[in-house]
A and B are shown apart, each in its own frame.
Chain A
Amino acid sequence: MSKLDMNWRERSSLFQLTVVRFKLFLREPEAIFWIFFFPILLAMGLGIAFRNRPADVLQVGATTTQLTQALTAEKGLAVKTLDEAAGMHELATGQIVLLAVGANDIGAVYRFDDTNPDARTARLLADRAIQTSGGRHQAVSTADELMHETGSRYIDFVVPGLLGMNLMGSAMWGLGFAIVEARQKKLLKRMVASPMPRWQYLTSFLISRIGLLVVEVAFFLGFARVAFGVPFRGSLPELAALCLLTSLSFSALGLLVSSRATTMEAASGLMNLVMLPMWIMSGVFFSASRFPAVIQPFVQALPLTAAIEAMRGNMLQGTGLGQMMGKVAILVAWFVAPFAVSLRIFRWR
């Protein structure tokens, strides 16, 4: 019964704890969906919705054939001829954005909603076409030069945002839920009743998180690269370091959130309380700078804001980490402080 033939893997409790973490993750199909496929589905949806179409063609209507002819000359518009009543109906239901009504005293009346940017564009295009057909000449000679540069599209902007959001979600849920569940099921208490070193239990979460992170980030960014041609202008090792730091910060935050909670409901409420401000304010889908100046210090201090802006800097502008030390410092602070506090207040039973 004394010395048994066990290899180092069987003897190392840290190894066994980490293996168990991986196994438990892989046996949770929902978790795999949320972590791997959800961000890709989201990126696909956004990529389709905001794809750069070959300049929008706007639907407009005209009440006379002369007007229709004049408008047809404009490539940015698709014109149909309708009587005024039908035209008003289509305008009201959004099938056309502008209706040009022929009148006797003046050439045309434009009916459109001036709060709709498309309608305003249509009005400019329609007026230019009608004036040109009426014989107006350009006062100044001009020419267009079109730009379709990768890196300035919406999908390029949103991919780092989604990456940051995903790293936050997977780290916080991954750690928080597993710990609170173990506490609720008294498994945590059973673990500390054994000779298991407590630091190894928490470390096994960090190791498995880092392991999954590699797969998760590579999968998502690989998809963004192949499907949308999202650029990687900065150093890849630095991007990897940023992802790692981001994940560690949110793991620490997840640990803090789960350090006392004894029920899933309490933990889930706390998680949402912590994550909601970041979903809204940290610039996942639009720039964080849109928020009023008064709350900017708060918005900028959020770990997700720092993470996303640093990733955008790396991927879109090719900025080096050295120039983003402020953001890095914010992330490091969000790793150290919650980790230190949660080690103090962690409830093992």
Chain B
Amino acid sequence: MTDLGTRAEGNGTSLLLRGLRKAFTDVQAVDGLDLEVERGECFGLLGPNGAGKTTTIEICEGLTIPDSGTVELLGLNWRSDAAELRQRIGIQLQETQFSEKLTVEETLRLFRSFFTRGISVEESIRTAQLEEKRKSRVGGLSGGQKQRLAMACALVGDPELLFLDEPTTGLDPQARRHLWDLVDELKQAGRTIILTTHYMEEAERLCDRVAIMDHGRVIALGTPQQLIASVGGEDIVEFAVVESNDSPVPKGEGAPVGHARVDVEMLLGIPGVQSHRVDAGLHQLAVSEPHRVVPRIFTALTEQGMHLSEFRTHSATLEDVFVRLTGRNLRDE
């Protein structure tokens, strides 16, 4: 586990997890997890499907009882302070389908009645930007609108701590950006937010700190910038090659013939190249100062008699961090 220290400045701990474990019949979903989330922080649990994110967040929400470990929220715990905690936290679950025949306003009025204090139904509708849909039945809402309704239901009690489980999964890019703006506003208002996601761009965009999870453990923890810097290079160069006298490599199954012959040592010898890996015929180099390194890569490949069939560079992302740490891709699982 790579703990990169330096937590966001806060005034107290909102969430504290120590030695958390939870096994289901066929899988150890959470396998010894320690986390601390400061007040006012937007904290992300990032990981592929099945990494244990939802189990972890549902343990925090008091919906799943851990096999062992400590859970402390706002200085309280589920065993003795459940009623108070329910009043003080806001929850948005994965895949909740609200009653289709109720309107947005009716649904929110119902949820508002569960809380002793909170914001008005009116205000929750405004925050979630559902003014035009207030009289519409839930069944007629788009995916993004339903998700914003779920968010509004989590907000009616004016929670100190907000849990969002995969808030944008299944949404189109526009609806996703819309929801991101909403989370941004909540962050500005100083709320503590804990969210899970398997979209690295979402974690990068929204979270002050991110814990990358895999197989029920935290494998890296820090700000997105720290994690990306830990890859060892700020940029990623990706390329595929064919031998220059061959016909272009046919696309499709299997590694193309020419790849085995790329002299990896020679590439790693170029100053500024930090690491190399091959995934499905695509070479990936983590590099710093790409403007100096890239011309040398071209030269090196030409000297080896290779011809580029693909070439691109991008800034390193959390996806690259995950790939580096696990050798697997975050998505396509």
Q: Is A13 an interface residue when CB atoms closer than 8 A count as contact?
A: yes
Cβ contact of A10, chosen from B93, B95, B99, B109, cutoff 8 A: B109
Residues of A within 8 A of B95 (CB): 186
Please tell me if the beta carbons of B101 and A10 are within 8 angstroms of each other in the complex: no
Please tell me if the beta carbons of A189 and B96 are within 8 angstroms of each other in the complex: yes
Residues of A within 8 A of B120 (CB): 4, 6
Q: Which of A20, A185, A190, A196 has the most CB of B within 10 A?
A: A190
Q: Is the interface of B mostly helix, strand, loop or mixed?
A: loop
Q: Is A1 an interface residue when CB atoms closer than 8 A count as contact?
A: yes
Contact flags (1/0) for B96-122 with A, using CB distance below 8 Å?
111101100010011111111111100
Chain B: interface size category = 20 to 34
Cβ contact of B115, chosen from A12, A193, A195, A349, cutoff 8 A: A195
Q: How far is the CA of A1 from the CA of B117 in the complex (A)?
A: 8
Contact flags (1/0) for B65-102 with A, using CB distance below 8 Å?
00000000000000000010011000101011111011
Known: A4-B120, A24-B101. A12 touches B113 (CB 8 A): yes
Q: How far is the CB of A12 from chain B (nearest CB, A)?
A: 6
Please tell me if the beta carbons of B158 and A10 are within 8 angstroms of each other in the complex: no
Please tell me if the beta carbons of B101 and A23 are within 8 angstroms of each other in the complex: yes
Residues of B within 8 A of A126 (CB): none
We find that the number of chain A residues with CB closer than 8 angstroms to chain B is: 29
Q: How far is the CB of A7 from chain B (nearest CB, A)?
A: 11
Please tell me if the beta carbons of B111 and A194 are within 8 angstroms of each other in the complex: yes
Q: Is A315 an interface residue when CB atoms closer than 8 A count as contact?
A: no
Please tell me if the beta carbons of B113 and A24 are within 8 angstroms of each other in the complex: no
Cβ contact of B96, chosen from A17, A28, A187, cutoff 8 A: A187
Residues of B within 8 A of A27 (CB): 101
Residues of A within 8 A of B62 (CB): 193
16 further contact pairs, Cβ within 8 A, besides A16-B113, A186-B93, A194-B91: A6-B120, A10-B113, A13-B113, A20-B102, A23-B101, A24-B102, A186-B96, A187-B98, A189-B93, A190-B91, A192-B63, A193-B86, A194-B114, A194-B153, A195-B116, A349-B63
Smallest CB-CB A-B distances: 4 pairs? A185-B97, A195-B86, A16-B113, A27-B101
The 20 sampled A-B contact pairs (Cβ below 8 Å) are A1-B119, A6-B120, A13-B110, A16-B113, A17-B113, A20-B106, A24-B101, A27-B101, A28-B101, A186-B97, A187-B97, A187-B98, A190-B91, A192-B63, A193-B62, A194-B153, A194-B157, A195-B86, A195-B115, A349-B63
Interface residues of A (CB under 8 A from B): 1-4, 6, 10-13, 15-17, 20, 23-24, 27-28, 182, 185-187, 189-190, 192-196, 349
